[in-house]
Amino acid sequence: MESKGKPAASQDIHFYEPAKGHGLKHDPFNAIVAPRPIGWISSRDAKGNVNLAPYSFFNAFCYTPALVGFSSTGWKDTVANVQDTGEFCWNLATMDLARQMNTTALHVGREVDEFAIAGLTRAPSRFVSVPRVAESPVSFECKVTDIIQLKGTTGEPAAAWLTLGEVVAVHIDKAFIRDGVYLTELARPIARAGRRGDYFEMTADTMFEMVRPD
């Protein structure tokens, strides 16, 4: 198969060392590693205050046990909450909920309820004390397994914390299940891209299938 791009040897490469700066208008790192699932995390502190916030560094890491994780740049309310209670919920961010999700990114006090600010409804969970986003078609109830402060090659701690949690319960709107299969495109999930506010929407038109060789 011929490549339609330039041969690698003739490409005009922009090279940089991240520790020394990228030299561009916007940091390309998070635009290159894209799209990224959104960690729309609801949490609760020991006093009962509820928090809801989106994290662009989020993903799944294991089938058995089912593990998901998100990384927080800075010790934010969500990390403090999950350390307090050992619980959180992940809620699927969709095109229909994009504006509400973006609203929950506001920097507000720990006692402020982002559910109320964004006009969202709290839904009770079964195994954790943290509410889910009722309007979201999929939610995971999670129990924290690790909170890890990240570090670089020198061993110097980074101002970032990775929270991993085991998914102990899954809630799926049956409207998105057909013939026993959950269809990703029906929910129209959104994913984070680069710059300060770029996103992707996943639809049937943008998806394609390749059968794995094994």
Q: pLDDT for 44-89, tens place per residue?
A: 999 999 999 999 999 999 999 999 999 999 999 999 999 999 999 9
Question: Are 211 and 193 a contacting pair, CB within 8 Å?
Answer: no
Query: Which among 165, 176, 171 is positioned nearest to 204, based on CA atoms?
Result: 176
Residue 19 confidence (pLDDT) above 60:
yes
Amino acid residing at 93: A
% the chain with pLDDT above 70: 95
Q: How many whole angstroms separate alpha carbon 37 and alpha carbon 193?
A: 9
pLDDT band at 23 (very low <50, low <70, confident <90, very high): very high
Please, which residues bridge with residue 70 across strands?
58, 163
Q: Are strands 50-55 and 190-192 parallel, antiparallel or unpaired?
A: unpaired
Q: How many whole angstroms separate alpha carbon 123 and alpha carbon 125?
A: 7
Residue 2 confidence (pLDDT) above 70:
no
pLDDT for position 1 = 47
pTM here is: 0.91
Sketch the domain layout of the chain as residue ranges: 25-206
Q: Which residues contact 182 (CB under 8 A, 6 or more apart)?
A: 172, 176
Indicate the average pLDDT of the chain: 93
- Say whether domain 25-206 belongs to CATH 2.30.110.10: yes
Q: How many whole angstroms separate alpha carbon 153 and alpha carbon 214?
A: 36
pLDDT for position 11 = 86
Q: Is 119 left (phi over 0), alpha (psi -120 to 50) or beta?
A: left
Q: What is the pLDDT of residues 90-103, one digit of tens each?
A: 999 999 999 999 99
**Tokens (6 digits) for 172:** 């799926």
